[in-house]
Chains A and B, each alone.
Chain A
Amino acid sequence: MAKINMLQAINDALTIAMETDDKAVIFGEDVGHFGGVFRATSGLQDKFGRDRCFNTPLTEQGIAGFANGLASNGMTAIAEIQFADYIFPAFDQIVNESAKFRYRSGNEFNVGGITYRTPYGGGIAGGHYHSQSPEAYFTQTPGLKVVVPRNAYQAKGLLLASIRDKNPVVFFEPKRLYRASVGEVPDEAYEIELGKAEVVQEGTDITVLAWGAQMEIVDEAAKMAAKKGISCEVIDLRTLAPWDVDTVAASVKKTGRLVINHEAPLTGGFAGEIAATIQQECFLYLESPISRVCGLDTPYPLIHEKEYMPDALKTFEAIKASMKY
């Protein structure tokens, strides 16, 4: 087992997907010879040829529309949107087309073979057009799966599972971890089941929930809390749609408290959905209100990125406030 970074793990998953499925095609802006702006697709064009790994013109709506057409006719489409901030021109093709193809046709046609890979999130001094976390827009759309890995190991297993899943998946990659997250990743193929959360650390006093890049943040906050004698159960949601209500509810029934952390703005964010559901499932077990530590309701700022971020310190404060409630 080698120690590799998240980009290498993604490249590994893509290589396996292409080797094991001759109908798999990878495309997007600069993904061909150049290997993508982050180099996630490095070497794939050399290995699999220009017909199976290629550049498209600069058109996100075209990329998503093309993916719909490919997948509707039996191909496995792996499309890269260069930044999640630029997924909005493709929004109609994803939420009105990819998501509804199967439903609207009564399963005469489906585009289950699509995976949209896209780097998301802040922490790279990218300002508001290279830092957004638009996952909630997609979780509101029936017919899509939404997946976010937190490290290299997950990136490989979740991406391979997403590509092989029979439904269109929007796969958000935490770009600030692309090179920063290094870990042991098996050489061989493996999949991590979609729709299942992972209890990363067991605890008894409070449940702390996040996904993707924010898992590093909540881990740090949990360590700070441990020094104050607070035992955190830390959960990585991994798949946002459909999300694992059972695992989260079981944890909150045990701890009686829940803090949810995400980078996207508070209002309308996915934490709201989790809070509402857990409030209903666990009402009689709750010892304090469910707390959300999120981005502000502003576009993502450049110079005040550190202040804006739902960081470990803010999460630690929310954990303490919940314990004292």
Chain B
Amino acid sequence: MSNATSNTETVHRVSFLDKDSLSIPILKILQADGTTFENAVLPVIDQDLAAKIYDTCVFTRVLDERMLAAQRQGRISFYMTCTGEEAAVVGSVAALDQDDVILAQYREHAAIRYRGFTTEQFMNQMFSNEKDLGKGRQMPIHYGCEALNYQTISSPLATQIPQATGVGYSLKMQGKRNVAICYFGEGAASEGDFHAGLNMAAVLNSPVIFFCRNNGYAISTPTNEQFAGNGIASRGVGYGMHTIRVDGNDMLAVMAATQQARAYALEHNKPVLIEAMTYRLGAHSSSDDPSGYRSKDEEAKWQQHDPVKRFKLWLINKGWLAESDDAAMYEKYREEVLAAVKVAEKLPAPGIDEIIEDVLDEPTPRLKQQLTELKQHIKKYPDSYPRSAGRD
């Protein structure tokens, strides 16, 4: 019978292993002042790519700032920011091919932006208007776009993890030279789907990059109440997969790790786990107030590790960015986002007929009958249903 283990060493007195038995280094390339560590091996990056990465970061910062304000004004019902985790998200997506399939959690809108999601498309989704690709069916921030290979976000946590294993397997079966990448937080790694997805990927040889944003908190629960082991990386080793822990606030470290993870996954048809050590600078969501569970000192300490500032210093050091250009970029996006908000919030909601579309591939007779009855009711009481009354 097979019982594969990699070594056969025996001992003859009790000797336990603990979480420190596995020493896991953190990959760091970029220093706080924007210079790189001596002997650091940089990722493949040129000026155009660097500019696109930074542009995505700036847009995401502005979007987060403006949309959180829009939520506070009651213009949208909900919002979540990526603030503090931009390097983890943008650094990884920038290491991928456009045809690699992204399965995100919910805090990775920088990745869909990087792929080409327009400011208008963001707004259409958040305002649930008739141009929303998702037809107004999900809360704000649940983006998805087939053309950009970015699967639509699902609220239940960790469900995308075993799905990514299936997507990776399908890419392999279809002979495509692409991988799936699956984002999740360290909290999601407590769900059964995490275990199921990683174990299956390792056993079934699926080319997928599992990307954990270890950002310190799952809503209010700090990591020391989330897991007792050696972070998430130790589990990757446990499942028998290539694993790396990186400084998640270091754009170049994240890029380098993801570039090599992708190459390995493709060459060997195997999964890789990346644990990015980062920090959620903002609240969990617009419904959350972190002052109830973490200190201002702690937040201030992490502000000093701001991943966008660190990358900006590197760009300036390289002579690829000027401080004045930076201010202009922020200003340009502030205007663009505000203008897009004004347009999107005035567009009508999707038509009521769409309520029965996409349940199955075609509406059933029963569903059509339910819609007919609903429309008759709306016609009778138009004042009570202003969003749908008077429209076909």
Interface residues of A (CB under 8 A from B): 23, 25, 51-52, 54, 56-57, 59, 61-62, 64-75, 77, 89, 92-93, 96-97, 100-110, 112, 142-143, 145, 166-167, 195, 242, 245-246
Contacts and interface: CB of A to CB of B under 8 A. Distances in A.
B104 to A, nearest CB: 13
Contacts of A69: 103, 162-170, 180
A56 B166 contact: no
A143 B360 contact: yes
Given A59-B200, A96-B156, A107 B358 contact: yes
A54 B159 CA distance: 22
For A51, A62, A101, A112, which residue has the most chain B Cβ atoms within 10 angstroms? Answer: A62
B40 interface: no
B137 A106 contact: yes
Given A69-B165, A102-B358, A245-B365, 19 more contacts: A56-B200, A56-B204, A62-B193, A62-B195, A62-B196, A66-B163, A66-B165, A69-B166, A69-B167, A69-B169, A75-B170, A89-B192, A101-B152, A106-B144, A107-B358, A108-B145, A142-B359, A245-B366, A246-B365
Given A25-B173, A103-B358, A62 B200 contact: yes
B366 A74 contact: no
Contacts of A108: 133-134, 144-146, 152
A143 B359 contact: yes
Given A62-B196, A66-B169, A242-B364, A93 B358 contact: no
A244 B260 CA distance: 54
B197 A62 contact: yes
B81 interface: no
A321 to B, nearest CB: 30
B154 A66 contact: no
Interface of B: 101, 103, 132-135, 137-138, 142, 144-146, 151-152, 154, 156, 159, 161-171, 173-174, 180, 192-193, 195-197, 199-200, 203-204, 357-361, 364-366
B371 to A, nearest CB: 13
Contacts of A246: 365
Contacts, number: 160
Given A69-B165, A166-B361, A109 B193 contact: no
A86 to B, nearest CB: 14
A309 to B, nearest CB: 31
B152 A54 contact: no
A73 B204 contact: no
Nearest to B362: A166
A62 to B, nearest CB: 3
Contact of B196 (A54, A59, A100, A104): A59
Nearest to A25: B173
A106 B135 contact: yes
A112 B358 CA distance: 11
Nearest to A54: B204
A75 B358 contact: no
Nearest to A277: B366
B264 to A, nearest CB: 20
A103 B200 contact: no
B364 A109 contact: no
Nearest to A27: B204
A100 B173 CA distance: 25
B173 A23 contact: yes
Given A65-B163, A106-B132, A57 B171 contact: no
Residue of A23, A61, A96, A195 most packed against chain B (CB within 10 A): A61
A9 B101 CA distance: 37
A71 B163 CA distance: 9
Contacts of B203: 56-57
B134 A61 contact: no
A282 to B, nearest CB: 16
B154 A97 contact: yes
B193 A93 contact: yes
Contact of B162 (A52, A62, A102, A106): A62
Contact of A96 (B132, B135, B159, B195): B159
Contacts of A89: 192
A101 B173 CA distance: 22
8 closest residue pairs by CB, A with B: A69-B166, A65-B162, A62-B196, A105-B152, A69-B163, A106-B135, A73-B170, A70-B166
A195 B39 CA distance: 66
A73 B171 contact: yes
A51 B146 contact: no
27 contacts: A25-B173, A65-B162, A65-B165, A66-B162, A69-B162, A69-B168, A73-B167, A73-B171, A77-B166, A93-B159, A96-B154, A102-B360, A102-B361, A104-B134, A104-B137, A105-B151, A106-B137, A106-B152, A107-B358, A108-B133, A108-B152, A109-B151, A143-B359, A166-B360, A242-B360, A245-B365, A245-B366
